Structure 1
């Protein structure tokens, strides 16, 4: 017996499909680690030129909980300028709006829209996890989506929300809201993705994987892309899996997926290793060579030398693939110049 397809209307604005980098926050080499907007401008432009289909700021990799509201707005204004200077002013910029209260998340959504974001990414509240009933969870998302000037993407990541995990029934219910357009499944549950894609078309509710080590299975299951921290280090290769799959080059996509999955293993260990990897493999390419720019914000610490060495060994399997892919050209070039 076939699964019943949803009859909800198509959403008026959908998050474009593809691979999105959840961009790390970069800091100045000072005691207070102010955000380094110049470095983030350069990093942004390199990610776009590398073929990333969109960028996410102020998510988990962006250390959102460690940034002030004013810092968040400054970063979003900076990266919107960066993509505009490249000649792609409408490039998708997703902003994390995750707060512990409904009011906070609504305000963050309004701030993000004012600063130039195009979509909003929202975790469930988790400060007092036992008090977050299913009813409270669904109402939270509906209330925020009602007031958000940006289309909302549900961010499901039990690892950072005290174990709160939206199941496929919860997500299917929320998919019916006209301003909730997609979900990012960092829970890594491909079965959940299949259940959702069996009910909804991508125009009704889009499904994204939460990392690139299962991008190929996500696409085969009916999903439309992923959000991957590894893209901070290897943006061309991660985007290339999607591009190959779309072009019908399935065997090539699967082959590249195998290498990417092994490189991404280092990102699973800690954000500090993702940031170190970005500095090691990408820093010189974007003209940001001070490794302290890629340190986590205090109180979190940079990795030990042993873990740095291990990260280089694990991620290096992808260097050859990355270097073989050319950068893309845009109308105005980097920093607005030909």
Structure 2
């Protein structure tokens, strides 16, 4: 018996499909590690020119838990200015709006909208995981979505939420909310993705993989893209997997996917490795020579010398591919 698609209307505003980078935060090389907004402006434009279809700020790779409310607004204002200056003022900017209470998440959504974000990315609360029953989880997402001035993308990442893992039934239920438009599955569960895509068209509720190492399978399963920390390092190559698949060049997409998946292994290991790789492969191109700009914010620690070498070796397999792909050209500066 065929699975029947859900009878819900298309959402008013959907997250555009494609590959999104959860952008790292860059800091000044001081004891208190203030945000380096000038550096983040440059990095933002580099990622857009690199072909990324959208950017995510204040997610896990952006160290959202280590930024205060005003810093988050400063970053969003900066990157909206960066894409506007580049000539793409409507470029998709997703902001993390995850708080430990309903009220906090609603306030973060309102802050994000005012500062220039297009969508909000929302983790489930997890400080007191035992209190987050299914009823509490569903109520949380509905309450935030009711009040959010921007569409909400569910962020399912059990690794940072004390094991809280929204299942396909939960996601199917939440997909009917008019202001909940997509899910990012950092749980890496392709079976879950298929169960969701079997019930919804992409204009009803979209599915994104949580990394680029399974982008090809996500697209084959009916998903519409991914959010990948590797975009911070190799934006052109990661976006190219999606672009090739969309052009019907699946053999080429699969070949590039194999290389991308091997390179992403370093990102899976540690945020510190992702940030070091970004400095190693991108920092010089942006004029950011001081490695400390790419260190994680304390108490997180930068990569040690042994793992730096390993990271460059693992991720370096993609450097040649990246160099063959031209940057996008825009009408702005």
Q: How many Å separate the matches in 1 of 2:195 and 2:62?
A: 30
Residues 241-285 of structure 1, C-alpha deviations (whole Å, 9 max, x = no match): 000000000000000000000000000111000000100011011
Deviations 1:46-74 (A, max 9, x none): 00000000000000000000001000000
Q: Which residue of the partner structure matches residue 194 of structure 1? A: 194
Question: What's the secondary structure of 1:199's corresponding residue?
Answer: coil
Aligned counterpart, 2:314: 314
Q: Could you say which residue in structure 1 is the equivalent of 2:218?
A: 218
Distance 1:144 1:285 in 2: 40
Report the Cα offset of residue 287 of structure 1: 1.4
Question: 1:336 corresponds to which residue?
Answer: none
Structure 2: runs of 5 or more not aligned: none
Match of 2:270 in 1: 270
Q: Aligned equivalents of 1:268 and 1:16: distance in 2?
A: 25
In structure 1, the residue matched to 2:156 is 156
State the SS of the aligned residue for 2:277.
helix
Residue 133 of structure 2 corresponds to 133
Q: Distance in 1 between matches of 2:18 and 2:199?
A: 20
Answer yes or no: is 1:182 the counterpart of 2:195: no
CA drift at 1:172: 0.3
| Partner in structure 2 of residue 287 of structure 1 | 287
Question: How far off is 1:289 after superposition?
Answer: 1.3
1:51 matched residue in structure 2: 51
User: 1:33 Cα deviation (Å)?
Assistant: 0.1
Aligned to 2:248: 248
How far, CA to CA, are the matches of 1:226 and 1:75 in structure 2?
Answer: 22
Q: Which residue of 1 aligns with 2:167?
A: 167
Residues 218-259 of structure 1 deviation map (CA, whole Å, 9 limit, x = unaligned) = 000000000000000000000000000000000000000000
Take 1:284 and 1:216, find their aligned partners in 2: how far apart are those partners?
31
Question: What SS class does the counterpart of residue 198 from structure 2 fall into?
Answer: helix
Q: Cα distance, 1:12 vs. partner? A: 0.4
Q: Distance in 1 between matches of 2:307 and 2:276?
A: 10
Matches of 2:184 and 2:178, distance apart in 1: 17
In the TM superposition, what whole-angstrom CA distance separates every residue of 1:133-152 from its partner, at most 9, and x where no partner exists?
00000000000000000000
Query: 1:10 — aligned with what?
Result: 10
Measured against aligned partners, the alpha-carbon deviations of 1:159-194 in whole angstroms (never above 9, x if no partner) come to 000000000000000000000000000000000000
**1:283 aligned counterpart, secondary structure:** helix
Structure 1 unaligned runs (5+)? 334-338
**In structure 1, what is the equivalent of residue 72 of structure 2?**
72
Structure 2 residue aligned with 1:91: 91
Q: How does 1:296-311 map to 2 (within 5 A)?
A: 296-311=296-311
Superposition CA RMSD, Å: 0.4
Give deviations 1:274-333, integer Å, cap 9, x for gaps. Answer: 000100011011111110000000011001100000000000100000000011100013
* TM-score scaled by length of structure 2: 1.00
How far apart, in 1, do the equivalents of 2:72 and 2:279 lie? 21
